[in-house]
Amino acid sequence: MLNLEKQKEIKQKALQLFEKAKIPLTEREKSEELKIIEFGNWGYYEIGLIALTFIRTDFYGGRYIMFFPNQFCPLHIHPETPGLQAKVETFRVLYGQVIKYSSTREYDNKLLHLDALSLRKLEYKNFVVLNEGEQAITLPEERHWYLGGSKGAIAMEISTTLKNESTDQWPDATSKPAVY
């Protein structure tokens, strides 16, 4: 759990990276929409991200996803959910580099029970390196994770509704996100 001093430090560093990337933000976005996402007790700068939502409607959503250098977002799935459209997301890198791993196949039980750090260390064949201006689409039920590059990264995520975030599945139970 991040204390208030640590949250303030992280938000200040995030704003510096947005500024470095020349991505303008409103005062309201800086104060109300900038969210720290922490995954378990791993160490925020190793496993975590920043999310800043700039649009949320019943039909689509848009947000910036920011990674500090070499920061990792654990394996997760946007499942089909009764009553809600399954999330389809497009990641377009605006600054830095993002590595996206994805697979539509089921994992064997050993992989599902690995913790986030062990998953990060595995060598995968199904990955794409996204540089500035490049994008990738993630479909419903596609298992995926992201890793920010060595100078950090900011991607624009455009997706179907963001209302189903609470239904995302995190196969490693220790990686369920906390939002500040």
pLDDT band at 148 (very low <50, low <70, confident <90, very high): very high
Res 97: pLDDT: 95
Among residues 166, 154, 156, the alpha carbon closest in space to that of 90 is found at 156
Q: Residue 45 pLDDT more than 90?
A: yes
Burial of 61 (0-12, 13-18, 19+ CB in 10 A): buried
35-44, 141-150, 166-175: least confident range: 166-175
pLDDT at 75: 82
pLDDT digits (tens, 9 = 90+) for 84-137: 777 889 999 999 999 998 875 555 444 545 555 565 555 555 678 899 999 999
Share of the chain above pLDDT 70, in %: 82
- If you ran DSSP here, which 8-state letter would residue 32 be given? I
pLDDT in tens, 56-84: 888 888 999 999 999 988 888 888 877 77
Could you tell me which residue, 33 or 78, shows the higher pLDDT?
Answer: 33
Mean pLDDT across the chain: 84
Q: Please measure the distance between the N-terminal and C-terminal CA atoms of the chain and give it in whole angstroms.
A: 10
Side chain identity, residue 29: E
List the beta strands (DSSP E) in the chain: 34-39, 48-56, 60-67, 72-76, 89-103, 127-131, 135-138, 143-160, 177-179
Rounded to whole angstroms, what are the CA distances from 5 to 1, 64, 106, 155, 180? 12, 23, 41, 26, 12
127 versus 164: the higher-pLDDT residue is: 127
The whole model's pTM is what?
Answer: 0.85
Domain locations in the chain? 4-179
CB of 31 closer than 8 Å to CB of 14: no
pLDDT at 33: 93
Distances (CA, A) of 135 to 92, 127, 145: 4, 13, 14
Residue scoring higher pLDDT (142 or 105): 142
Specify the pLDDT at position 108: 47
CATH code for the part of the protein at 4-179 = 2.60.120.10
Closest CA to 34 of 60, 58, 16, 59: 16
